[in-house]
Structure 1
Amino acid sequence: MTDAMFAAPGTFRRGNLHTHSTRSDGVLDPAEVCRRYQAEGYDFIALTDHFVGAFGYPITDTTPYRNNAFTTILGAELHSGAMSNGELWHILAVGLPTDFAPSNTPTFQPVPDQESGAEIARRARDSGAFVAIAHPEWSGLTTEDARTIEAAHAVEIYNHGCAMGCDRPHGFYTLDQLLTEGRKLDLCATDDAHFSEPDHFGGWVMVKAQENDPDALLEALKAGHHYSSQGPLIHNVIWEDTRVIVESSAVTSVILQGAGTASLAVHGDSMTRTEVPFGRCAGSPFLRLTVMDRAGKRAWLNPVYRD
């Protein structure tokens, strides 16, 4: 059976879901951020400035920078309530309405009488946004913390800014713990670009949509019709009873992962059609795939569920 995303109509569009500008703590104005992403071959971005009072609770208007070849989705990085470590939650919300009500978050320090992270995430999802748990490793997120964000569509599993700035880029542990507990979640790779260091053009999503239109892209994100990448392309995935077939750009490794320690990798040279037997993953309630090229760049497929 062809993976549902590849069977769906449409074209893959490259986009970044996590970006900052001078409307919060970025160093470039929104127009220049959009110009640079389009110049680098992106089809869309979401400019997600920090939604705190110190910056005026911005949902940055990027509609003037849309054109026939490039579009934008409105969004923000939401903050409210403390995690277990006492620090403020970071929740990525893509597709927010412009009248999304401010939280009681004057700065990056938690204060009494705030919404919890779970509450502001639920409010964002109910308003129509695609919601992701941002940079779990950087945040020092516990599984208990992550468990509370029931409104999440996805976990940010690679954050390029966190890779370059502190070498804490991942969210795989958080994702796999939640998957093992039975949650059904997607994953996303992002830049979290501020342009204050080499934190840009390093992680993105490939979204399958019929139009490069904000509404169509948002619908596809929420449907799970996207994969994440640092470079490799995934052209097709076919799930069979005992194996998966992956068609991709030239890669050296295709790795199948399941619950617990279950995994199986196939390695080779310039592989473009790779068959991976389920092996120890055969009994797993979920499966996910990583492909890796000769330079060590990876792409990740959203989990699939076997129920």
Structure 2
Amino acid sequence: MIDPAFSAPGRFFRGNLHTHSTLSDGVLPPEEVCRRYRDEGYDFIALTDHFVGLFGYPIADTKPFRDNRFTTVLGAEVHSGAMQNGELWHILAVGLPEDFAPSNSPGFHPVEGQESGPEIARRAREAGAFVAVAHPHWSGLTLEDARSIGDAHAVEVYNHGCARGCDRGEGFQTADLLLSEGRDLTLIATDDAHFSEPDHFGGWVMVKAEANEPEALLTALKAGRFYSSQGPELRHVERAGNKLHIECSAVESVIVQGHGSAAVSRHAPSMTRAEIDLTRFAGSDWIRATVIDSAGRRAWSNPMRLG
């Protein structure tokens, strides 16, 4: 069984799925945000400004900033309803149509009578978006909250802005618990860049698609044909019998995780391949892999079901 990111046709395209501009609370205009990502070597971004009334419910029209080597996917960070801690839901919706109907979300606080988080997530998915639970640690998300978003394709497991701004950048516990309950979810790393602090160019997805075009990228994201990274490259992930074979750029650690405490690691200088025995995962229905380079930067595979 080969991870679909490495068996699908096409090539990898580097992209950021969570970004803000002056259309909401970012400090750079959309054109400059796109320019910086393009010139930094990204193949695409999704400009996902906050979809609230305070900013006029923006879905940024970034089509004019596309060229023959850089593209954009329309989207927004949608908000509606209260989580268990009483704060407003944050849900990433990449691939929204420009006419997506606003919720009754005037600002960054829940109001009576508005849609719930699960309801706006469902509407976004039905409208064609790739939907992700944003920054679980930063949000103070409970497991019950996370369970309620049944229409999520993914969990944002690394958010560079939250990591740099408040040391609450990860969502792996949320993702792992949901995976152990049988949910089919993928894992995304993002910037959540506002350009008001060093919150950019720190986490991204590598999407395997046949063309650097919005629909091809969205199709690949929904099918799980990608991995996430802070720097290292994953080059092949394959399960053969009771072994997991991993090929990557030079790293110092290769770790495979599964249900509960199940994990196996390998550590050596400049590893570019590893073979992990899966006996430790006999009680796990899923596994995922992490590689870590000499600078401490990580890359993550999507989960693979063992059943």
Distance in structure 1 (CA, Å) of the matches to 2:238 and 2:153: 24
* Residue matched to 1:279: 279
| Cα distance in 1, alignment partners of residues 8 and 142 from structure 2 | 35
Residue aligning to 1:28: 28
Shift of 1:5: 2.1
Deviation at 1:281, TM superposition (A): 1.5
Are the aligned partners of 1:287 and 1:305 in contact in 2 as well (CA < 8 Å)? Answer: yes
Q: C-alpha separation between the residues in 1 aligned to 2:148 and 2:245?
A: 35
Aligned counterparts of 1:168 and 1:61: Cα–Cα separation in 2: 30
Indicate yes or no: 2:14 matched with 1:14.
yes
- Give the partner amino acid of 2:100: F
| Alpha-carbon displacement from aligned partner over 1:31-66 (angstroms, at most 9, x marks no partner) | 000000001000000000000000000000000000
Structure 1 equivalent of residue 118 of structure 2: 118
Q: Where in structure 2 are the equivalents of 1:234-273 lying within 5 Å? A: 234-273=234-273
Say which is worse superposed, 44-53 or 279-288, in terms of deviation.
Answer: 279-288
**RMSD after superposition:** 0.6
**SS of the residue 1:256 aligns to:** strand
Q: Which residue of 1 aligns with 2:203?
A: 203
Instruction: Give me the whole-angstrom Cα distance separating, in 2, the residues matched to 1:185 and 1:72.
Output: 23
CA distance in 2, matches of 1:86, 1:153: 24
Residue of structure 2 equivalent to 1:298: 298
Count of equivalent residues: 307
Does 1:225 find its partner at 2:225? yes
Matched, 1:214 2:214: yes
Q: Which residue of 2 aligns with 1:43?
A: 43
Kept after mapping to 2: 8 A contact 1:65/1:71: yes
Contact 1:157-1:170 within 8 A present in 2 as well: yes
Matches of 2:235 and 2:285, distance apart in 1: 24
Shift in Å, 1:76: 0.1
3-state DSSP class of the match of 2:156?
A: strand
> Letter of the aligned partner of 2:199 in structure 1?
D
Distance 2:110 2:2 in 1: 46
User: Aligned equivalents of 2:238 and 2:102: distance in 1?
Assistant: 44
Q: Which amino acid aligns with 2:54?
A: A
SS at match of 1:195: coil
Check conservation: 1:264, 1:279, Cα contact below 8 A.
no
State whether structure 2 residue 101 is matched by structure 1 residue 101.
yes
Aligned equivalents of 2:293, 2:39: Cα separation in 1: 24
Q: Residue 269 of structure 1: SS of its match in structure 2?
A: strand
Structure 2 segments unaligned to the other structure (5+ residues): none
The separation in 1 between residues aligned to 2:254 and 2:243, in whole angstroms, is 12
Deviations 1:72-107 (CA, angstroms, capped at 9, x unpaired): 000000000000000000000000000100000001
C-alpha displacement at 1:282, in angstroms? Answer: 3.0
SS at match of 2:35: helix
Deviating above 3 A after TM superposition, structure 1's stretches of 4 or more consecutive aligned residues are none
Q: CA contact under 8 A between 1:133 and 1:155: conserved in structure 2?
A: yes
Residue 162 of structure 2: aligned partner: 162
Distance across 1 between alignment mates of 2:135 and 2:297: 19
Alpha-carbon distance, 1:3 to partner: 2.1
Alpha-carbon distance between aligned partners in 2 of 1:282 and 1:216, rounded to the nearest angstrom: 36
Q: Within the alignment, does 1:185 sit opposite 2:164 as a pair?
A: no
Unpaired runs of 5+ residues, structure 1, are none
Equivalent residues of 1:242, 1:282 under 8 A apart:
no
CA contact (8 A) 2:4 2:224 kept: no
CA–CA distance in structure 1, aligned partners of residues 181 and 27 of structure 2:
40
Q: Is the 8 A contact 2:21 2:49 kept in 1?
A: yes
TM-score by length of 2: 0.99
Structure 2 partner of 1:289: 289
> Which secondary structure state, in structure 1, belongs to the residue aligned with residue 196 of structure 2?
coil
Q: Distance in 2 between matches of 1:302 and 1:272?
A: 19
Alpha-carbon distance, 1:270 to partner = 0.4
State how far apart, in whole Å, the 2-side matches of 1:264 and 1:271 are: 16
Give the AA of the match of 1:248: C
